[in-house]
Amino acid sequence: MVVPRLVVAAPASGSGKTTVATGLMAALRGRGLKVSPHKVGPDYIDPGYHALATGRPGRNLDPWLVGEDLVAPLFAHGASGCDVAVVEGVMGLFDGRGGTGFASTAHVAGLLAAPVVLVVDVSRQSRSVAATVHGFASFDSRIQVGGVVLNRVGSDRHEELCRAALGERGIPVLGAIRRDDAVAVPSRHLGLVPAAERGAEAVAAVDRLAALVARSCDLEALVRLARAAPPLEATPWDPVLAVKGPDGASETVRATVPEAPGVARSGPVVAVAGGAAFTFGYAEHVELLRAAGAEVAVFDPLRDEKLPDGTAALVVGGGFPEAYAADLAANEPLRARIAAFGGPIAAECAGLLYLCEALDGHPMCGKIRTTARMTDHLTLGYREATAVRESLLTRPGERFRGHEFHRTAVPAPERPVFAWPGGGDGYGEARLTASYLHLHWAGCPALASRVVKCS
């Protein structure tokens, strides 16, 4: 499979990867190219901006969550039919899980055989940038650093010094971006404010990033670098084939009907929470639910007073309910309907909070007899969890790889669903799994089948 592609990486977080990657995606789309957007790691927020920039779903590539063997197939699935793919990295180029390089940007670049563009913040250096880039380019011979984008350049003279130093090492400079506070994206306690919460403001921000990158970077040279990537030896991931795996998933697969207005589907309706309060979700989850035979309907707990017609199951993913607790509480009709709902519910993090009796004193749905609260403590990291009880999504003894990312707390249940070294959590029963643990269902497609099968 021939997919022109490149990875936008950096020596460290905060160097400007999101600015360059999102702006590049939007600028290339502005040139008439079909751009496939990807993000290394479990992050949900950057893909939202990528989706605005490209008009396509932002997709995550994470070897920890889905396994090394699925990274290239998932990439190929997302990039099918596109002219170029841009992959935004995570943290520093070689920073992976714990003290290893596993699940790092370099790891994913290697799995994709993709050239790397290194974004370097040069605001406090000039000639030293060459030493920085030389070190990153030579650290791992399997990784091709194909060029550099200088970020936060202070002046023409500053740019000349940086270019000269890199020229001595034969390192191409593919762009030089001046300091511009106007393109900064607002942030809060868990990082950038999601694009879905900003509405038209987010669209305008992406447009500014596109203009910035278009005038500051050599788009033709970047596309040439992407086209220099070798053919990718990967068969695109197929959600229908994925759900026909172990666990008897094949018996839940029904003939799928193309999504179109007015077209009836025969499968159960799985309602997926969306809107500004529930923005965290992977595109493959909906694809797997549909492949397992479900009709997926999105609802907004902030605005909708009832569930979609015919709802047979609920999926309530992550997001920022703590930022909208009062508004969620004010939607009493929907909370009452969810409290009375007897179908299966799969909930993660924000979904867990929404199902509690209260969040920071605001009444929630009351499906789980406990309360949640905001704290000053950030819980963040990958988890290798073992299911210790049966629930909607889990069977005892099964192992899952996921991640946690929150500043809230829910009292530990007496009988948790998941356990891992030093911790564990999750409320569960035959028709419920609610936990802080974020899972990527492409790595365990039986989860989609279990939701549909129980509907």
User: Which sign, positive or negative, has the C-alpha torsion 58, 62, 68, 70?
Assistant: negative
The pLDDT of residue 198: 81
- The DSSP bridge pattern shows strands 432-435 and 345-348 to be parallel
The pLDDT of residue 187: 57
Is residue 62 predicted with pLDDT exceeding 50?
A: yes
DSSP class of 11: S
**Domain end (from 227, 248, 269):** 227
Range of the domain at 27: 5-227
Instruction: Please state the rounded mean pLDDT for residues 57-69.
Output: 97
Instruction: Please state the rounded mean pLDDT for residues 98-119.
Output: 96
The pLDDT of residue 200: 86
The pLDDT of residue 355: 98
The pLDDT of residue 191: 54
**Which residues are CB-contacts of 255 (< 8 A; sequence separation ≥ 6)?**
none
CATH number at residue 49: 3.40.50.300
The CA distance from 415 to 77, in Å, is: 39
Is residue 215 predicted with pLDDT exceeding 50?
A: yes
**Domain end (from 184, 204, 227):** 227
Q: Dump pLDDT digits (tens) for 285-298.
A: 999 999 999 999 99
pTM above 0.75, yes or no: yes
Q: Are residues 15 and 45 in the same domain?
A: yes
The pLDDT of residue 184: 65
Q: Dump pLDDT digits (tens) for 381-427.
A: 999 999 999 999 999 999 999 999 999 999 999 899 999 998 899 99
Mean pLDDT, the chain, integer: 92
Q: Are residues 222 and 249 in the same domain?
A: no
Q: Are residues 222 and 314 in the same domain?
A: no
User: Which sign, positive or negative, has the C-alpha torsion 103, 106, 110, 115?
Assistant: positive
- The DSSP bridge pattern shows strands 423-425 and 418-420 to be antiparallel
Q: Dump pLDDT digits (tens) for 81-90.
A: 999 999 999 9
Q: Dump pLDDT digits (tens) for 163-212.
A: 999 999 999 999 999 987 766 666 544 457 878 778 888 899 999 999 99
Is 342 contained in some domain?
yes
Is residue 248 predicted with pLDDT exceeding 80?
A: no
The pLDDT of residue 185: 63
The pLDDT of residue 322: 85
CATH number at residue 294: 3.40.50.880
Q: 351 with 277: CB under 8 angstroms?
A: no
Q: Which of 72-81, 117-126, 264-273, 329-338 has the lowest mean pLDDT?
A: 264-273
Catalytic residues: 349
Beta bridge partners, 399, equal: 386
The pLDDT of residue 69: 97
The pLDDT of residue 261: 43
Q: Are residues 386 and 262 in the same domain?
A: yes
The pLDDT of residue 246: 52
DSSP class of 58: -
Q: Are residues 292 and 400 in the same domain?
A: yes
Q: Are residues 328 and 192 in the same domain?
A: no
The CA distance from 95 to 86, in Å, is: 19
**Domain end (from 227, 260, 283):** 227
Is residue 340 predicted with pLDDT exceeding 80?
A: yes
Q: How many residues does the chain have?
A: 455
Is residue 16 predicted with pLDDT exceeding 70?
A: yes
